[in-house]
Amino acid sequence: MQIQNEQLEILSKENKTEECKELKRKYSIAKDEIDKLRKEINDKDSIIQALKARLNKNSSNSSKPSSTDGFKKVIHNCREKTGRKVGGQKNHKGTTLNKKEPTKIVDKKIEKCECGGKVENNSEYESKQIIDIEIKVNVIEERVYEGKCCKCGKKQGMNLFETTKEVLRGKTIEFLPI
């Protein structure tokens, strides 16, 4: 019987060793799995942080255009309402351009009448100025001389301009205040 007990003890020790090896193997697999899941969680956390940072950006704290801001709370101005309409008010003195000394004069003399006759121009003219700049201010005065048709006697030249303004801005400085 003693031989059997010794054999049983040996078998028991072998089983425990096998069980211990099996537990160590399972522990190692579980530890590897835990490490893998921790790394995955850390990766996802960093992605979440990057996305949150991107969501929190707008045109005031990044180079994004304001059109991508979406609908945000509008900041209203704190001026008191006066009850007046928007824009220029009645009895407000406006400003206009004044004539200047021309740097160039372009004479536009009418040569032919509508009827086909020759026009003799006299010294009377109507003028407008086009103010434009190159590197210096150019004031071009256009003069339309009044004349009379030799054939039909009809007056020519006055009121030929498309505008009643005496001074205009040129193409180069249309948008600048003078």
Predicted confidence at residue 28, as pLDDT, reads 86
* Domain ranges for the chain: 1-59, 104-169
| Integer Cα distance of 106 and 141 in angstroms | 6
Average pLDDT over residues 110-131: 88
pLDDT digits (tens, 9 = 90+) for 19-50: 777 778 888 898 899 999 999 999 999 999 99
Residue 11 has pLDDT above 80, yes or no: no
* pTM higher than the cut 0.85: no
Asked if 132 and 173 touch (Cβ cutoff 8 Å), the reply is: yes
What sign results for the dihedral spanned by CA atoms 95, 101, 106, 107?
positive
